[in-house]
Amino acid sequence: MGGVGVVSASYLTAPFYNPALVAIYRRNDDAGMLLPSLGINYDDQNGLIDQVDQAVATGDISAISNDSVANLDFGGAVAFGLPNRFVAANIFGKAYVENVAQPDMGSTVTNSAVKSASVAITEIGLSLAKYQTVLGQHWSFGVTPKFQRIYTFTSVSSLQDFALENVTDNKEGESAFNIDAGALWFFGPFRAGVSATNLLSRNIKTAQGTTLVGGRAVDYGYEYNLEPLYTVGAGYVADYFQFSIDYDLNKETKFTQFDDDTQMIRAGLEVDLIRQIQLRAGYYKNLAKDNSDGTITAGIGLTPLNLIEMDISARYTNADAMGASINFVTTY
């Protein structure tokens, strides 16, 4: 569904989109488990990998642009939801890795390099939410205190040795406490909401140093900004059909030395066939990059006997940018 979720996530996936949705569930929901959710996303719209391969094969570095950036992101999550009319709760764990690479060109293939950096973030948290009626309007409010462990890695490699997924050098780690929050308004199937992620900002510095590539000194050392992200959403969420749109109000800068900023707009829909099969489609685009292509998504949910659900999705931007994910859900 294009990654939407501010108003359309379930009470099990709510901690990853909007904690206020933890309090929105069906009357027959007693408990549920998300075990696990896995996903991967690859984005090389500038063709950095192809440029490096061509330069190594031909010895011509003129085709490589210092503005080219490649990204590889992957992660997983688990959650255990306990819906109730007092204070609904969801205990969750999440881990994700963001890899980014950019060339640092010398005068020849031999002394040209690719700089890479990664941030790996693990989270353990508890989302709490409460449904309330305020001035005759239906609202839900949620908050998520969470503990984070953040690891950074940096690497400088020659063009011949570059591999985006192999950033494992110069490990640094630190721990942090953070908070997410959210609110949801709804009237029948119509919904509007807002979520705030990582309300406590952190500036994370990687290891720094200098290494030689073909006799040329190449400096490395980066900063990663873990900043608040505010997202608004609106949609129509009914039993057998839903459509929603999410929009990031601010831009995430992430690594300050790489062009990996994001500010997303997302849209998605779902058609539910007799509560056994869910057909999904969506679209999202990174508004922080003028030359970024939009991404289309498609997915299917299988819910035999309404006890076990398997969700499979794929996303496609172009031949150099695509991804996939899978979820397993059990409810009681």
Stated pTM of the model: 0.93
| Segment 188-204 mean pLDDT | 97
Q: Does the structure show a pLDDT above 90 at 308?
A: no
More confidently predicted of 307 and 273: 273
Q: Which amino acid is at 236?
A: Y
Q: Are 250 and 265 in contact (CB under 8 A)?
A: no
**CA-to-CA distance for 89 and 25, rounded, in angstroms?**
12
Higher pLDDT, 155 or 232: 232
How far is 228 from 259, CA to CA, in rounded Å? 19
Q: What pLDDT was estimated at residue 301?
A: 96
Contact 284, 266 (CB under 8 A): yes
| pLDDT confidence tier of residue 209, bands split at 50, 70 and 90 | very high
Tell me the average pLDDT of the chain: 93
CA 43 – CA 69 distance, rounded (Å): 9
From start to end of 105-252, where are the E strands?
A: 113-134, 137-158, 172-187, 190-197, 202-205, 209-213, 216-220, 223-226, 229-237, 241-248
Q: Is 179 helix (H, G, I), strand (E, B) or coil?
A: strand
Tell the CATH superfamily of the 14-331 domain. Outer membrane protein transport protein (OMPP1/FadL/TodX) (2.40.160.60)
Confidence of residue 224 (pLDDT cuts 50, 70, 90): very high
> Is 92 within 8 Å of 247 (Cβ atoms)?
no
Q: What is the pLDDT of residue 292?
A: 84
Q: How confident is the model at residue 182 (pLDDT cuts 50, 70, 90)?
A: very high
Contact 282, 295 (CB under 8 A): no
